[in-house]
């Protein structure tokens, strides 16, 4: 889903996200997709329209994703996947705009990785004892 959102936004995966779009300005169908990053899809009518546009484009370009099962293209599945991807992109935008947010996110990820390694070692010890 994130890959497709980047495709519709017409930016590469390694590029920074574009600036936040101004709520209320019209955006034609031939222009690249833009979001109001400060708001969710429930808070912004513009973001809700962009969500609809992404899902419609994804269904229209279904052939690009041959290995994705047909069940994953149901409306409910696509909407929940979009919401998750949009939340991740909003977090990336915040990190891109504010270095303190980026640093706290990096610390959180490091703690999570340490915890995962510790739990993996514990599991290894438990299974070797049996």
Do residues 89 and 106 share a domain?
A: no
List, in sequence order, the alpha helices (H) in 2-98.
2-9, 45-60, 75-97
Do residues 105 and 93 share a domain?
A: no
CA distance 42 to 48: 7
Residue 116 domain boundaries: 100-130
**Tens digits of residue pLDDT in 59-109:** 999 999 989 898 888 999 999 999 999 999 998 898 888 888 878 888 988
Sequence length of the chain is 130
Do residues 113 and 128 share a domain?
A: yes
Do residues 109 and 65 share a domain?
A: no
CA distance 95 to 98: 5
pTM for the full predicted model = 0.75
Do residues 53 and 108 share a domain?
A: no
Do residues 9 and 59 share a domain?
A: yes
> How many domains does the structure of the chain reveal?
2
């Amino acid at each position: 889903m994130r890959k497709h959102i980047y495709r519709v936004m017409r930016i590469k995966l390694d590029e920074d996200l574009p600036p936040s779009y101004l709520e209320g300005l019209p955006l034609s169908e031939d222009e690249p997709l833009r979001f109001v990053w400060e708001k969710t899809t429930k808070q912004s009518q513009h973001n809700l329209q962009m969500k609809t546009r992404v899902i419609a484009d994804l269904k229209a370009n279904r052939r690009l994703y041959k290995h994705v099962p047909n069940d994953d293209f149901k409306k409910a599945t696509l909407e929940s996947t979009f919401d998750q991807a949009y939340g991740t992109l909003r977090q990336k935008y915040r990190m891109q705009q504010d270095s303190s947010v980026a640093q706290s996110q990096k610390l959180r990820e490091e703690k999570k990785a340490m915890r995962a390694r510790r739990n993996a070692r514990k599991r290894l010890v438990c299974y070797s004892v049996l």
